[in-house]
Amino acid sequence: MKLESVLQFLENKTILVTGGAGFLAKIFVEKVLRVQPNVKKLHLLLRAADAKSATQRLHSEVFGKELFRVVKEKYGPNFSSLISEKVTVVPGDITCEDLGVADSDLREQLWAQIDVIVNLAATTNFDERYDVALGVNTYGAKYVTEFAKKCSQLMVLVHVSTSYVSGETEGLIKESPYRMGETLNGVSGLDIDAEKRIVEEKLDELRKEGASEKETRVAMKELGIKRAKVYGWPNTYVFTKAMGEMLVGELKGDMSVVIIRPTIVTSTYKEPFPGWAEGVRTVDSLLVGYATGKLTCFLGDINGVVDMSRTNIGSSMVRDMHTGRHVIGC
């Protein structure tokens, strides 16, 4: 599938976006609505108990944001009509089979109509609880891939990973997908299902000990770091994202898959306007500290290279590939 234009490709397409209320998902949706209003439908998967609460999240956490200022100005009073026509909220949960979509009629509709799936759901905390990170970043990737294989007219699955699945490796890093069980330090024995059993056993042990919620949270964070370092990854986030890539590669079969590996994602670069960000994450704390004068200096290598992605959703989001792809930036 050689695309002359991503805009042309997106025309009349039905797209499922996971992590619909997340930072990158909002930017992706805003971009599509602003530059390709002839997209057929955007289905946004949001974690919610039912359609009503999912719709409330959609309006408060997505379209209620300043990010949509430009597209609202473009369409004026017709913006609400555009959203009603083009955007559908899907209550679900990426950590569950069939993405937690309880409505069987809706599931069948999605399987019959989806052309593109963009998996943007993730937890990006470096020291996230291991059970949470494994559920979202690893098994979430599995469930998205399995869901995609049921979509009869799917053209491509775009899975957004991170460049830091390569850990702290130096030098030239090839754009190669991870094989199942591959590790950074060469230690054998990585088994994703076994990792899940380790989590379940630890949680069961903590319950029997009567551990408090805080004690459980600390224990699960420590477990994630410990398991990551066994196989050469520096933290829970990149370890679970790497295992997610393994599952996508193992399960995809002959389905067209793109794996995008952005570096540190910061604010918007130019579109829809410079400098939009949400929350303080990764390198943002340094930038905020310096900008407010609370941080006047910090140690660093003057010859070092800081690799960050100013967020502009472009053509790299949709390409036809049968192997993983390391893309610097979005």
Does 324 reside within a domain?
no
pLDDT recorded at residue 268: 86
pLDDT recorded at residue 142: 98
The residues assigned a catalytic role are: 237, 241
Does 34 reside within a domain?
yes
Does 90 reside within a domain?
yes
Does 103 reside within a domain?
yes
Does 63 reside within a domain?
yes
Q: What is the DSSP string of 252-309?
A: -TT--EEEE---EEEEESSSSSTT---S--TTHHHHHHHHTTS-------TT----EE
Q: Which of 130, 233, 114 has the alpha carbon at shortest distance from 183?
A: 233
pLDDT recorded at residue 287: 77
Does 190 reside within a domain?
yes
**Mean pLDDT in the chain?**
89
Distance CA 314, CA 154 (A): 20
Residues 6+ apart with CB under 8 A from 143: 94, 95, 96, 97, 98, 99
Give me the residues paired with residue 116 across strands: 15, 156
Where the chain has pLDDT below 50, the residues are 1-3, 313-330
DSSP state of 67: G
Give me the residues paired with residue 160 across strands: 260
What range defines the domain where residue 97 resides?
Answer: 6-274+306-317
Does 282 reside within a domain?
no
Residues 6+ apart with CB under 8 A from 6: 314, 315, 317, 318
pLDDT recorded at residue 286: 79
Q: Which two tokens stand for residue 154?
A: 């799917």
Cβ(181)–Cβ(243) under 8 Å?
A: no
List the helix and strand counts (H, then E) for the chain: 12, 8
CA distances from 273 to 207, 245, 258 (A): 49, 32, 27
Residues 6+ apart with CB under 8 A from 52: none
Helix 236-251 crosses helix 139-149 at what angle (to 10 degrees)? 20
**Span 128-144, pLDDT tens digits:** 999 999 999 999 999 99
Distance CA 192, CA 161 (A): 17
Sign of torsion over alpha carbons 104, 108, 110, 111: positive
Cβ(157)–Cβ(227) under 8 Å?
A: no
pLDDT recorded at residue 222: 98
pLDDT recorded at residue 318: 38
Question: What type of residue sits at position 229?
Answer: K
Cβ(34)–Cβ(71) under 8 Å?
A: yes
Does 310 reside within a domain?
yes
Domain count, the chain: 1
Q: Is the pTM of this model over 0.85?
A: yes
Report the CATH number that the domain containing residue 65 is assigned in CATH.
3.40.50.720
**Span 142-175, pLDDT tens digits:** 999 999 999 999 999 999 999 999 998 888 888 8
Give me the residues paired with residue 90 across strands: 45
Angle (CA) 151-154-84 rounded to 5° is: 85
**Rg of the chain, C-alpha, whole Å:** 20
